[in-house]
Structure 1
């Protein structure tokens, strides 16, 4: 971290401004430590002042770790530079782990209302770390960051660094998952928006930090800034959108923005976001142009350093906001305790018209759509077949409806809707997208995908048995391993299952249909056998639903929805809807493959007489 010492005055000023904003926001928001009352338990000033301060340092270490790993994965060019960035990220990860431990201890002191020494002597630390959500969250952070720190000492390739980056981004989410948003009226939407918000912030702030601190004197700086510019724009949109959603859930009424302390702090974050937007616009119009022209990097570095300062102050504001009680949102957001949202009695019309928006899902689907369209426009001068583009957008529309529409709303409450949802996410949407040859345009947008699609891992995964295993395993494991109820109870598990079903399904159908250029040649008969195997998987699922035990008995008992259908009869409907829709989709693809095979045979037959008559 010796690089940080080159400009100590600037960094000291940024740190002082960050803590000044933190203390001012704590005072304004009501999170300022209150005087001790004789006779009542109190954690003391060390905890009262230390906890928010350490939390800011903890968040700063997380941002630095993620930013340096991001630079090593996607921004820097040279192997030596990437190796240096990875090792530097390991040092910050150790600091992140240390601050997570301190935060855990101070949080225990705060919850017990005891000074740190007495809290440690109470013997509750182990129970707090393994049984209380806040303690579990920081224990997870500590373990993951220690793994990251250890892994950075190894010789890593692109895949290894990307995995560490994914782990680091994941490590910032557990504290958000158990924070104030988890107790909001619409807690699923609140938690989802907050997780997206935090992930976007850490990638955005961390990436800029890496450019200013670690790459400021590197020859890679112009190219790295060009790559980061697109990511920063996406992060700005994600942070603004998710922040607005989360603030609306917590406040409930626009009037509370200026009538409550919480609302005033939200306005402060909004002003900071507007300032950061101005910085970004200034970069695009002035400093990046000068940087790419090779004239000078000073304007960019000066403006970027000021931008990092604003971002750091915003971190202090965010920590103060997390310790400020939000206003009562009233009954406008009343919700079912387990579902986390209000759900009206089921009708077919509501299955179509009801919406269950999720910021993570919406932005992910929108990002895929934009990436596909941009890649299609770049391919061969924009002469991309319109039919393929329609198939891609139709598949993404199905995915969005299944994960943010009426099916997403009623899926956790009605098993037959749940089964239909998994058929749409894991089979219909991937099949439509595979018909659009998605890897071709995506490789135009994301160049690392080109090398990955031709490497040994891609060749192994395009083996028919490997692709089939990826498709079948989630269905076979999900119900056998008892993941059904956790997926209904936990937003994180539910999102993870959707991602697994969609990605494995898309890969399987891309291999089976063969519209994308892949490193392994597969014959038509093998492709049809792959689809026949997928039909067998869906038939097995139907048998499990028809002859197996009732799924989610305890979950549906706890829901106790008065309008819920009979569970046994509904599971029979689920066997027809879920595996049935998937089977019809696969059968249609078999027809497509058979038609392609007949067409190829006709072309060969037509060419043979012509070749025979040639002199």
Structure 2
């Protein structure tokens, strides 16, 4: 009994030590980085006082760490634990506590941001409350803090109340979405590369949250009887590798935008803090790779387990140092800043970037405007697909080479559309915007569906037998969910595909996509998914709940082609300029006029946009022909095996009927 209580005491001490080490390391790094970078210096115009200057980064640090606990615990519970067991409930309790702290710290940080911006005298007077209300409801910065706080409160309740798979998944998605308002704050809104900065910060924050939060959950769940530590650590390790890749790539791109030059990396306080983060990230990566290769396979042994859990505390300390440096970096002035207001051109006011040169033939091959979000998505898409093909080959199974080629081409085209000349000019030319839209909704889905990624995943990913859910189990859940049955129905998919065109371009949604970065990314996601669902319902090899017969598919496709053509003609016949305060106010002095360019865009939707649809129709016809040929071959093989018994039986039946009729005729005479 005494030995058991000592073991429990040691585990409790270990858990508390993990939390204390994390917070202490983070606070030390925060203070040092603020002193080095000058992030706590009072501004020149007004000094809100030391409480605001030091309290703001501390509140943000607590918010970042608690947000990581919130999201990381949910993600690891979904991929490493079994719903209904005490460990799963404990993970959700930890996530709920993290969300509660996230809510309070976000509210405090928002209040301190108000104090720093307005520097009012703290009071309970009505005027003070009015100012605070205007800040939270009318100013973008205040709105971001308010939305973040509301997100945190909702997640706190949901993580505590919901204890099954699907609700926990919804809660995790909300937790990831809660980081979006934060990504638009700080220096991301001031830099010339605003879009890249926002995407980089969002990916960086989510990746770090999954990494840190999952690691801390391992510490807090250590020693629980219903947890297999070897399996849980191995599954966390897979998540951590993906998170490390996201954090490293997004951190590099974020630093490129903020630092601006190689010299500034070595000669400015901002660059020094970035270098410190690089060293810490490299150390964590090497440490993780070492104990993944050396210790995790031996985790069942007492000696290896002891070293492993000691190294976990070391990684927690490094995580704390990196978190503190990151919080200080958000307060440190970057070497690059926003363009002076008096020097801004119309294009800079609208897009945050200078007007590019005219789109010539050469620029079609040299113009790039990288979208980090889709670079990461395409990179993971390529890696996991090729890894799946490799696993099948090592197992002795075959995978059609043409499907691999289609998928690779689809991912490369996705990168070209979202980061190449189409993305570089889509904000300035309506015709280029429309061409990118057609590629996203028609050409890229055609290639992706032809790659049959779901079928590959179901064949390549190992099936779990312990009641937890891995990638294969979540894909099976998604394919057979009631929502999937609805949206993959051919008529529903066709309706979503075609109605989205009209709803997007003939409402304020198109304006939202131009003026707001979130709107643009939503547009890319929506049209890529709607196109994928439509193409999959017609020619996909992946499993779907219902698929129309081939005549029905062709009729559906013809109807969609007609509506698509009408859409293009409707754009061409517009007498006024769509989003005139954007495309008409860009100050562009080259190329076609905005109205002429809009007419060209309608022509692209009508003509060039129909090319993938025509390819789709030809593919459906070919599949129909092959299906008939396959059915005929099956019939012939069956006849060869049975000696055409069915035909002989049918002929005998006809002969018997004929003989009966003749007999009746004779009897009638």
Structure 1 position 419 matched with structure 2 position 425: no
CA distance in 2 between counterparts of 1:154 and 1:503 reads 31
Question: 1:5 Cα shift?
Answer: 7.1
Question: 1:436 Cα shift?
Answer: 1.8
Structure 1 position 87 matched with structure 2 position 93: yes
Cα-Cα RMSD: 2.7
Question: 1:190 Cα shift?
Answer: 2.1
Q: Tell me the equivalent position of 1:487.
A: 513
Moved more, 192-201 or 387-396: 192-201
CA distance in 1 between counterparts of 2:276 and 2:509 reads 42
Unaligned runs of 5+ in 2: 1-8, 462-470, 644-669
Aligned length: 610
Question: 1:553 Cα shift?
Answer: 0.8
CA distance in 2 between counterparts of 1:453 and 1:292 reads 36
Which residue, out of 158, 164, 167, partners 2:171? 164
Question: 1:78 Cα shift?
Answer: 4.2
Question: 1:293 Cα shift?
Answer: 6.8
Question: 1:330 Cα shift?
Answer: 10
Query: CA offsets per residue over residues 402-428 of structure 1, 9 Å max, x none?
Result: 111001111111011111100101111
Q: Tell me the equivalent position of 1:533.
A: 559
CA distance in 2 between counterparts of 1:300 and 1:497 reads 45
Q: Tell me the equivalent position of 1:406.
A: 421
Which residue, out of 367, 384, 387, partners 1:354? 367
Contact 1:89 1:152 in 2 (8 A): yes
Q: Tell me the equivalent position of 1:70.
A: 75
Query: CA offsets per residue over residues 130-171 of structure 1, 9 Å max, x none?
Result: 222221111110111111122224345423222211211121
Moved more, 151-160 or 379-388: 151-160
CA distance in 2 between counterparts of 1:45 and 1:330 reads 27
Contact 1:416 1:578 in 2 (8 A): no
Q: Tell me the equivalent position of 2:571.
A: 545
CA distance in 1 between counterparts of 2:448 and 2:409 reads 8
**Map of 1:141-180 to 2, 5 A cutoff?**
141-180=148-187
Question: 1:280 Cα shift?
Answer: 1.0
CA distance in 1 between counterparts of 2:633 and 2:20 reads 78
Structure 1 position 184 matched with structure 2 position 211: no
CA distance in 2 between counterparts of 1:12 and 1:115 reads 35
**Bigger Cα Rg:** 2
Unaligned runs of 5+ in 1: none
Which residue, out of 323, 326, 337, partners 1:315? 323
Residues 120 and 236 (structure 1 numbering): CA distance in 2 closer, same or farther, change over 3 Å? farther
CA distance in 2 between counterparts of 1:264 and 1:339 reads 30
What is the SS of the residue equivalent to 2:584?
helix
Contact 1:208 1:308 in 2 (8 A): yes
Structure 1 position 48 matched with structure 2 position 60: no
Contact 2:358 2:590 in 1 (8 A): yes
Q: Tell me the equivalent position of 1:556.
A: 583
Structure 1 position 373 matched with structure 2 position 400: no
Query: CA offsets per residue over residues 217-248 of structure 1, 9 Å max, x none?
Result: 35243222222222212221221122112212
What is the SS of the residue equivalent to 2:535?
helix
What is the SS of the residue equivalent to 2:70?
helix
What is the SS of the residue equivalent to 2:353?
coil
Contact 2:147 2:181 in 1 (8 A): yes
Contact 1:173 1:199 in 2 (8 A): no
What is the SS of the residue equivalent to 1:381?
coil
Contact 1:249 1:329 in 2 (8 A): no
Residues 94 and 120 (structure 1 numbering): CA distance in 2 closer, same or farther, change over 3 Å? farther
Residues 117 and 587 (structure 1 numbering): CA distance in 2 closer, same or farther, change over 3 Å? same
Q: Tell me the equivalent position of 1:511.
A: 537
Structure 1 position 108 matched with structure 2 position 135: no
Contact 2:368 2:421 in 1 (8 A): yes
TM-score between both structures, scaled by the size of structure 2: 0.85
